[in-house]
Amino acid sequence: IDIKTLRAATGGITTLDPGYKNTGSCESAITFLDGEKGILRYRGYSIEELADKADFLEVAYLLIFGELPTKGQLEKFHNDIKAQSHVDEDVKKILDGFPKSAHPMGVLSSLTSALVAFNPSSVNVDSEEEMYNAIVKVLAKFPVLTAWAYRKRAGLPLDYGDNSLGYVENFHKMMFNRPNGNYSVDEKVTNALDKLLILHADHEQNCSTSTVRIVGSSHAGLFVSLSAGINALWGPLHGGANQAVVEMLEAIKEDGGDTHKFMEKAKDKEDPFRLMGFGHRVYKNFDPRAKIIKKAADEVLSSLGIEDPVLDIAKGLEKEALEDSYFVDRKLYPNVDFYSGIIYRALGIPVEMFTPMFALGRLPGWIAQWREMRLRKEPIGRPRQVYIGETHRDFKSIEKR
Ligand code: ACO
């Protein structure tokens, strides 16, 4: 049914659906998910297969342009990205203006917005070529900004990366290269990071992606639409959950490791505490990404020879939740972020960088969704409301109130 027929049929009735639990905001050919069966596919390819066989840049290409790239297409894409990886020196001055304690998500959203000033041609992008140029620019500069946000906080000199490396390897080096330069890329670490980024790369119309689409629908540019998405992702009910999970697991450890006590706390309706990393708006069976990540966490920790008591607490919570009627009845299963923080920790990534890592992973998805929205010439996003305020009141002068 087309929208005009629908409007005519409903006589302009406004539906009320808080949290958009049943409202589709668009048609999309990017990501398919079946929450009941625990299926997630990017452009028709299963997440399990992509995480196993593809690399992050290939998946980015697939999401954005709809097909897996040929060798030549991937090489060109990567070369175009490399050619744009410089960040204007003046952006560094903006970074310098932030206190060292600033949360990197705030720094990232600000710097991503600021990129517009240095790349004004990225705003009015009507042709596919103009879109491509803006896309390549932001894919190139965003990892640099992410690494810089970390290095600033860690008091390290900024690193400009090494374009002879792969996309993820280069990011890893920008993060961890130290002034003495004795950094070597560890393949196991890069592979784990690559997999994590793939698992986060898109998830249809979640809060941050819907934000990117709705901001972009006013024809604001790509960079500011992405900046809005970064801010939406920051919240603990969305991307901020990975930071909140590890903080929660550490708090349980500090408290003596009694997982049952925290389970009870999460079930208490008088207590605002929720078991972070549990539950999902769409997955009501299991989150397929959590399965892959749980296995990866085991592999990474054992291959790096790390024993992390927090992983045992996480496994204990999961086991207990699977047997607890509160969690079973509400279909609350571990989500993607339940185990991702444990891997990030093992890779030496500090907790406040977990959500920026999510943003880096989600970047291709946001871009793909923004591009689809523009190519489909979608109308400006403008939800209606059901008004519940006063009907009409006469104005009272200030003396009479
Ligand atoms: N701990 C305890 N109870 C929970 C939890 C939780 N983590 N999540 C949901 N519930 C309960 C709610 O209290 C509610 O109970 P009720 O029916 O008795 O009132 C019921 O389960 C349904 O919860 P809603 O909040 O209505 O579910 P919604 O789909 O709106 O929220 C969300 C999903 C935000 C993910 C929620 O499960 C949550 O807050 N989880 C913890 C935060 C988290 O891990 N976020 C990451 C999401 S994944 C991502 O962004 C990558």
Q: Is the CB of 232 under 6 A from ligand 1?
A: no
Mean pLDDT of all residues belonging to the chain: 92
Mean pLDDT of 348-376: 96
Q: Rounded to the nearest 10 degrees, how much is the dihedral formed by the CA atoms of 153, 154, 158, 162?
A: -120
Q: Is the CB of 315 under 6 A from ligand 1?
A: no
Q: Among 200, 148, 210, 227, which Cα is nearest to 383's?
A: 210
For 94-135, write each residue's pLDDT tens digit: 999 999 999 999 999 999 999 999 998 888 898 999 999 999
Report the residue among 207, 280, 320 best suited for mutation to probe ligand 1: largest number of ligand atoms under 8 A from its CB: 280
pLDDT over 80 (residue 2): no
- In this prediction, residue 19 carries a pLDDT of 94
Q: Is the CB of 188 under 6 A from ligand 1?
A: no
Q: Is the CB of 262 under 6 A from ligand 1?
A: no
Which ipTM score applies to this complex?
A: 0.95
User: Confidence band (pLDDT; 50, 70, 90) for 11?
Assistant: low
Mean pLDDT of 271-286: 89
**104 within 8 A of 332, measured Cβ to Cβ:** no
Q: What does the alpha-carbon distance between residue 401 and residue 388 come to, in Å, rounded to a whole number?
A: 23
Mean pLDDT of 239-255: 92
- Angle, helices 241-254 vs 354-375, to 10°: value is 160
Q: CA 75, 81, 86: angle at the middle one, nearest 5?
A: 145
How close is the Cα of 38 to the center of ligand 1, in Å? Answer: 17
For 182-209, write each residue's pLDDT tens digit: 677 778 888 889 999 999 999 999 999 9
How close is the Cα of 280 to the center of ligand 1, in Å? Answer: 6
Element containing residue 362 per DSSP (H, E): helix 354-375
Task: Decide the pairing of beta strands 45-46 and 39-42.
Answer: antiparallel
How close is the Cα of 49 to the center of ligand 1, in Å? Answer: 28
pLDDT over 90 (residue 26): yes
Q: Is the CB of 213 under 6 A from ligand 1?
A: no
For 319-333, write each residue's pLDDT tens digit: 999 899 999 999 998
pLDDT over 70 (residue 1): no
Q: What percent of the chain has pLDDT over 90?
A: 72
- In this prediction, residue 132 carries a pLDDT of 97
For 279-317, write each residue's pLDDT tens digit: 988 888 888 999 898 888 888 888 888 888 888 898 889
How close is the Cα of 278 to the center of ligand 1, in Å? Answer: 7
Q: Residue 359: how many CB atoms within 10 A of its CB?
A: 25
pLDDT over 70 (residue 18): yes
Between the alpha carbon of residue 140 and those of residues 57, 80, 81, 173, 390, the distances in Å are 11, 9, 5, 15, 51
Q: Is the CB of 280 under 6 A from ligand 1?
A: yes
What is the distance in angstroms between the CA of the first residue and the CA of the last residue of the chain? 52
- Residues classed as catalytic: 280, 337
pTM confidence score: 0.90
Distant-in-sequence, close-in-space partners of 210: CB < 8 Å, separation ≥ 6:
20, 25, 232
Atom of ligand 1 lying closest to residue 281 CA: 29
User: Confidence band (pLDDT; 50, 70, 90) for 13?
Assistant: confident
